[in-house]
Amino acid sequence: MLNENKPKQYALMGLPFHSVSLEQAAIVISDAIHNQHKCFLSTPNLNFTVMSQDDPEFYDSVIYSDLVVADGMPLIWVAKLLGLPIHERVAGSDLFAFLSKQSRERKIRVFFFGGEAGVAEKAHHELNLTSPGMESCGYYDPGFVSIDEMSSDRIIERINACEPDFILVALGAKKGQRWIMHNREKLNAPVISHLGAVINFVAGSVHRAPEKWQNYGLEWLWRVKQEPKLYKRYLGDGLHFLKMLATQTLPLCVYSKRLMSKLDTSNGEVLADTLPAQEKFIVSLKGVISTEQVHDFENALEQALSSNKDVVIDGTKLDYLAMDIIARLLTFQGQLHLKQNVMLLKDFPAKIITLLRMSSVLNRFKLI
């Protein structure tokens, strides 16, 4: 059955983001630590979102994450434009600082992995000097080596021996996400996340932008001021963002509203396959599938997942898919892939294909 307390996800610029506030995200992290449940936290900002468009492995790291928060004001602006309930930027640095400042009887044990030479060690000492809610239990700087070299049994055993609750990775976004994906099953810590800038903030080698700069979406300018080498990255991200905004996001806003204005929103229906003899599990979608149908949709996906079969989503009579349903299709496909099964979208109408394309997710699915 659907977990009512689980944060909802919405497709935003091609990725499934959770609708959470800073405080709600902190509760998810704290609960994972308390209950020893694995939680892979991803914090896509604009750069991360742009890079994931053309890098399947980078994209997959988000699909396989347990908590995905929007770490960038442009993402919040786009969510508002599309009417999605993702109202608050949850920066990885703010989330870490929030957890660090909360006094608790048993502090969260943090392991720093990566960073520039000497930064992890400095962050280790600074955290233990200043934080009422966290303590550093260790650090390791692997240097500029390959993923395989920094994933040796010796290194993994060293991290696990420190018994961390939270592994903070700082290797550069792509390399950091790949390292986590490569090692997450071997690491015992309940929470793991690539938070590259945070290690510098904790160490004091880089300072956060003033709050006003952050609120106006100008933190990138502050970072360029401190790290001029970043200007090319931010320029490229900005141009790519404007292109996506003009060719996908704005057309999606207009197209989605126009489509919904012509439809009966009460006719949505989700039918799950009840014929075990069939080679594939069939989930049929009819009419408008939105938040009102999410319980039925989730139940059908759970049945499909437990069938251990390939899954066909039949959209022959489909009129509309809401952004939370599209996000769930993305993550469900990831769950199937882990079980070595595939998902196929069958006979989706042209209007739904257009909706998926404008949502920047069409290339993620296989159509039949």
Partners of 18 in beta bridges: 9
CA distance 235 to 282: 45
Burial class (CB in 10 A: 0-12, 13-18, 19+), 332: buried
**pLDDT block averages, 10 residues each, the chain of length 368:** 69 96 97 96 91 91 96 92 95 95 95 93 96 97 94 97 98 94 96 92 73 65 65 73 89 93 88 81 95 92 94 96 96 95 97 96 96
Q: How far is CA 34 from CA 8, 94, 98, 257, 284, in A?
A: 22, 21, 17, 43, 39
* CATH 3.30.750.24 in the chain, residue ranges: 269-367
269-367 CATH: 3.30.750.24
User: Cβ distance 49 to 14 under 8 Å?
Assistant: yes
Helix (H) or strand (E) holding 221: helix 219-226
Contacts of 331 (CB under 8 A, 6+ apart): 9, 16, 63
Distance separating alpha carbons of residues 197 and 205, to the nearest angstrom? 10
Cβ count within 10 A of residue 354? 16
pLDDT for position 204:
80
Cα–Cα distance, 332 to 250 (Å, whole number): 27
Count CB atoms within 10 A of the CB of residue 327: 25
Calculate the alpha carbon distances from 97 to 33, 67, 195, 218 in Å. Answer: 16, 17, 12, 20
First to last CA, the chain: 29
CATH of region 9-237: 3.40.50.10700
CA dist 30 → 141, 284, 304, 327 (Å): 26, 38, 31, 25
C-alpha distances out from residue 171 to 89, 125, 338, Å? 23, 20, 25
pLDDT at 220: 63
Whole-angstrom distance, CA of residue 282 vs CA of residue 272: 6
* Cα-only R_g, the chain: 21
**Letter string b/e over residues 264-295, b meaning 16 or more CB atoms within 10 A of that residue's CB:** eeeebebebbeeeeeebbbbbbbbbbbeebbe
Domain with CATH 3.40.50.10700 in the chain: 9-237
How far apart (Å, rounded) are the C-alpha atoms in residues 256 and 358? 9
